Structure 1
């Protein structure tokens, strides 16, 4: 192609209604370097990022750790339950024997220190940070149950509740295991980015044409590199020799290869499709475009809100309530003249009644059900807090290519300038383009195939550098060329439709047979059928629809008008995408971002909710909070519906898990003692277990929810 492909001619290109066939391809690809947004890893798991004791571990190792601990504690819990005097009394059996409580004490000690270790360490970490939460509540509960029961074994007047300790640890391990399996927060975003870069490059030695293979870190700025067809660009640079089509889709999400020639810039990680290129290295890895994206992703990950989720906040307040209630209970009983044993029993009962069996399962069970539901409907939830936030979305920012559109060219219009019928114009063009791998060619060939048109016999196929291709059909010279060629050769034609197509940002190619202009074909990235329905449904919910794309303003405006987009930001460079998201957020809007390309990663991460389409790049999906498996924008509506219903169900469970304390804590403290109603620690533990059953049943009712 010509020098018009470099960035300096971008303005002149936009002002010219007759861009060349390949120029329009090139400009679209070049300006679309930023047509997507990104990722969020959220260390920790979901809202439990503050679960101390977890932060230094790999997420996958933590899942295995909790799984293994759960099954081991399950085995140990069985004999603890069977040897418990209270459980035996409920079962109507008597399996007591000399020294049985010492065996239970030994087993419970193992449960406390082995099974409870993650929670005990987490509690210490939370208290050090002065942010008590779920771990502190669990650690407090199991410690009270353990040390009180040990005291009973060694003579303290009361009933041991080792079974309460074992079941609490068991349920907490199960809850955390369920939660971690349900939400895959282990980010592979940065690894996906790094894997795009080749490890070696072919460097041209100074003062010779010899080629040497060197490692990337040995390359210096100014080195000349040879990039053969099919190879990746080792680093950012400028072409000094050669012409080729460069596939930047893995970086930009744009499906159209970019025509590159001398003085054009290339991005490390993009793929050279056709001719050999000699590039001069301009930026080393630390300064490269890809590294900038990596840094933006890192920054977005680190600045993402660290706010604790609703479950952890509930645990925090429940801890304070339990602590205050326990202290007040002890003081009151001592002040009214009760013996120390009675005061301690009342205090322990109060603390046990607040043991978070149900609270520990309230969120994980709902998450497990909603995750299963969402997966069945093509939604993969990666980050729970952001998924819960989806119910509050005010605006959805859409990437254009691959999200609202198919990401591939299709024929939209055909015009004949002679007695040749439209089908014949298409048939001739498809025959010429049949040997080309260009997306424009694919669009023409697919249209001919859908119309069941027969192709002709082609001979003497040849590429016309920079303007198109030609060949011989039925002894006639046939050319498929760009508008630039038509203008240069001085062809006169009815350009009313051409001007309209150009204003819509469509790509136009012309058919010439024996130097006579026969027809024109317009192509464009096809809008997904579901896009218009999605935007209409968003408007019914009073949610703004915004387009953020690196594509041309004309193309973006055309697509926006077709489907009803409210705001359009076009020709946005990669490093500007996350900034645009922040600008929109600064207007007070809660923002969801959808995209499928690598440079969508920082913006996806910066958004309140990042949504990746499943047909996109790995980095976009790793950067998102939610992935649309079917790449259907209409699935966004299901996200909002399920998010709202899941949050409501979560709140219901938290009410069941904690609300009973309003009644149970006063009873445990002994307010009805004057009337002979006193709850023992064992009975308090049983009441606590009942709320766990209610929470489990309520979570399962979410299965009855029908997706929108």
Structure 2
């Protein structure tokens, strides 16, 4: 008994003392220590992706803390009464009754409403027996274990909660609308269906609607996930939360507020939030399933071993001990993952992770970089490639969309010196018109150049056709009235992605899919380059979730990996969902797992730790259950009494906790080895 009190309480104090803020760098270079329940790295990560800090306690945690204080006080009084002054034993009774009520009520409700026996019933039965037979010290010890279990389970449940951030925090506070031919500014909340909204370059579109006047280049990445801006003109549809990169448009509002496409995505997320956050740990369910067999065995043996022997069998049940040990194991696996750059928000995720047989990758921002790269620079009309890129980069200097950044990056790689731009000739529309060194430079689509009266050589038209066939963007460049070349762009595959696909196959995950809102040609090309056999192209956000559901209906266990608001519904639909740090807020909130280093490099380790978790948890539960089985057998064959029925299961708890500490021990050894290697290198 005292060993368990000292061991479990010591572990709790140890964990509390370790909850101090440290940076990851300090964690790696300082002398490592074992962290039993959780660590500062995981706390930092949780704080980063939650509106509520880790220090804010849920009602369940507050209740568990109060019960822990009461049970410790009761046990203290019972101990002093047992050893020094017997009348003090009676003072422990109110605390015993107070804490026991929290098991009596759910036990009664479970039996009456669900027709199911739980460990709460065994706990209640044992405490009633102990109180009626004046074993108050044992009863106080029993409520201490109950309170400790509830405290740990409340903590892991609170850590698993995910807060969905309202997408409308991204909306502007004030917007411009046209009333009676006059533009005026109003509050976003006052916007109504049918209003004409004015949106200029650099502003976010606040509504779903149809353009009634004007042209603009619109970045729809937040909804489609694709980097290529779309040219929008009169009669074309636009969506809330997309960004006007250039131009100015007047929008007839069709949907506002919570009726917009973006708001509906957020609504689906909020409505499905509860489906994956309240899942009980499997060890608790297993404990409940063994209640009835324990009671039947106790009843069968009652005529042969008496009431004390029968109660020893009841008391031999491991009850909450498997939950305590497995909870510590879960927290240590969570902590080990966090030290390897992986935030896992829900302990139950481990259980599903080891069964995953299918991985679905979002294309843009996940397998490929958000910013494209220049694939080739084509020159014509007697100009050089460097001149084409130089004029295009100079014109795009003030632009911030991904294509402009790609052109500017290529100019920097070629070490080109960019000329100054004549501000008086600067004009935005379907394309970009600027004055450079006495010339009029136009950058944009072939259609834009034609509208401006520019002569287009056949070679540029052919390049446009080739780019269209593979679904890649192309930017044409004109000097005065003649096209001098074009710049073809392509999606840049994240470094190490091919190797990553190979490592996943080595781990038995051979079923992989690419899903994208992009055209079929570039999606097919990417799938071929990575050696992935299956893909879905031109897929809308709500269709992504449907594709995942379709795979699940075929019996597959799906892990979905995405990074944008357009992936959020699919992330919630998948059995396991992964996002990347730096992705959209809604994606990181919706995902069960966040890769903190902004790459996919830790995916193989993620699946490894999922397999390790399953193996470790079997050992944890076995370590807890075996002493309980020995106690029940001892009651039948060796006439064990109440003392043995309390001591042996506690040994099982300590053994289970020791097994649960394995992830922390492994992490400690790796850290020591890393520190040793660093010192040797120096």
TM-score w.r.t. length of structure 1: 0.78
State the shift of 1:477 in Å: 4.3
1:193 aligns with 2:167: yes
Structure 1 counterpart of 2:215, from 240, 243, 248: 243
Structure 2 counterpart of 1:209, from 166, 174, 182: 182
Structure 2 counterpart of 1:546, from 485, 494, 513: 513
Q: Which has the higher contact order (CA 8 A, sep 6+)?
A: 1
Compared CA separation, residues 576 and 450, structure 1 to 2 (3 A) = same
Compared CA separation, residues 386 and 125, structure 1 to 2 (3 A) = farther
Structure 1 counterpart of 2:114, from 130, 140, 148: 130
Compared CA separation, residues 239 and 521, structure 1 to 2 (3 A) = same
Q: Is the 8 A contact 1:178 1:364 kept in 2?
A: no
Aligned ranges 1:296-307 → 2 under 5 Å: 296-298=268-270, 300-301=272-273
Compared CA separation, residues 306 and 536, structure 1 to 2 (3 A) = same
Q: Is the 8 A contact 1:237 1:266 kept in 2?
A: yes
Match of 2:141 in 1: 164
Which secondary structure does the structure 2 equivalent of 1:402 belong to? coil
Structure 2 counterpart of 1:375, from 338, 341, 354: 338
Structure 1 counterpart of 2:73, from 73, 76, 98: 76
Q: Is the 8 A contact 2:193 2:256 kept in 1?
A: yes
Match of 1:146 in 2: 127
d(CA) in 2 for partners of 1:480 and 1:268? 27
What are the Cα deviations for residues 144-170 of structure 1, in whole angstroms up to 9, with x where unaligned? 3432232223xxxx7851243133223
1:346 aligns with 2:324: no
What are the Cα deviations for residues 92-135 of structure 1, in whole angstroms up to 9, with x where unaligned? xxx3224132123344334434xxx2x444434433452747xx
Which segment drifts farther, 261-270 or 243-252?
243-252
Match of 2:486 in 1: 520
d(CA) in 2 for partners of 1:283 and 1:614? 31
State the shift of 1:663 in Å: 2.6
TM-score w.r.t. length of structure 2: 0.81
State the shift of 1:656 in Å: 1.8
Structure 2 counterpart of 1:681, from 642, 649, 654: 642
Gaps of 5+ in 1: 1-58, 86-94, 334-342
1:465 aligns with 2:429: yes
State the shift of 1:381 in Å: 1.1
Which secondary structure does the structure 2 equivalent of 1:262 belong to? coil
Which secondary structure does the structure 1 equivalent of 2:370 belong to? strand
Which segment drifts farther, 386-395 or 245-254?
245-254
State the shift of 1:261 in Å: 2.4
Compared CA separation, residues 502 and 220, structure 1 to 2 (3 A) = closer
State the shift of 1:601 in Å: 1.5
Match of 1:265 in 2: 237
Match of 1:508 in 2: 474
What are the Cα deviations for residues 396-415 of structure 1, in whole angstroms up to 9, with x where unaligned? 11111111111112212223
Structural RMSD (CA): 3.1
Compared CA separation, residues 371 and 66, structure 1 to 2 (3 A) = farther
Match of 1:410 in 2: 373
State the shift of 1:690 in Å: 0.4
1:598 aligns with 2:598: no
Compared CA separation, residues 535 and 469, structure 1 to 2 (3 A) = farther
Compared CA separation, residues 234 and 502, structure 1 to 2 (3 A) = closer
Compared CA separation, residues 71 and 300, structure 1 to 2 (3 A) = closer
Match of 2:360 in 1: 397
Match of 2:40 in 1: none
1:105 aligns with 2:89: no
Which secondary structure does the structure 1 equivalent of 2:488 belong to? strand
Which segment drifts farther, 504-513 or 585-594?
504-513
State the shift of 1:688 in Å: 0.9
State the shift of 1:179 in Å: 1.9
Compared CA separation, residues 600 and 685, structure 1 to 2 (3 A) = same
What are the Cα deviations for residues 405-464 of structure 1, in whole angstroms up to 9, with x where unaligned? 111122122233366554443333222221222321111112222343322233355336
Match of 1:180 in 2: 157
Compared CA separation, residues 370 and 478, structure 1 to 2 (3 A) = same
d(CA) in 2 for partners of 1:223 and 1:479? 34
Structure 2 counterpart of 1:329, from 290, 297, 301: 301
Match of 1:18 in 2: none
Match of 1:278 in 2: 250
Match of 2:455 in 1: 489
Q: Is the 8 A contact 1:239 1:278 kept in 2?
A: yes
Aligned ranges 1:621-632 → 2 under 5 Å: 621-632=588-599
Which secondary structure does the structure 1 equivalent of 2:459 belong to? coil
What are the Cα deviations for residues 610-635 of structure 1, in whole angstroms up to 9, with x where unaligned? 11222211111221121122232232
Compared CA separation, residues 223 and 433, structure 1 to 2 (3 A) = closer
Q: Is the 8 A contact 1:148 1:160 kept in 2?
A: no
Kindly tell me the number of residue pairs found equivalent between the two proteins.
609
Which segment drifts farther, 475-484 or 687-696?
475-484
What are the Cα deviations for residues 188-234 of structure 1, in whole angstroms up to 9, with x where unaligned? 22x423434556654433x4436362564x65432323345554433
Match of 1:575 in 2: 542
Which secondary structure does the structure 1 equivalent of 2:348 belong to? helix
Which secondary structure does the structure 2 equivalent of 1:161 belong to? helix
d(CA) in 1 for partners of 2:378 and 2:172? 45
Which secondary structure does the structure 2 equivalent of 1:639 belong to? helix
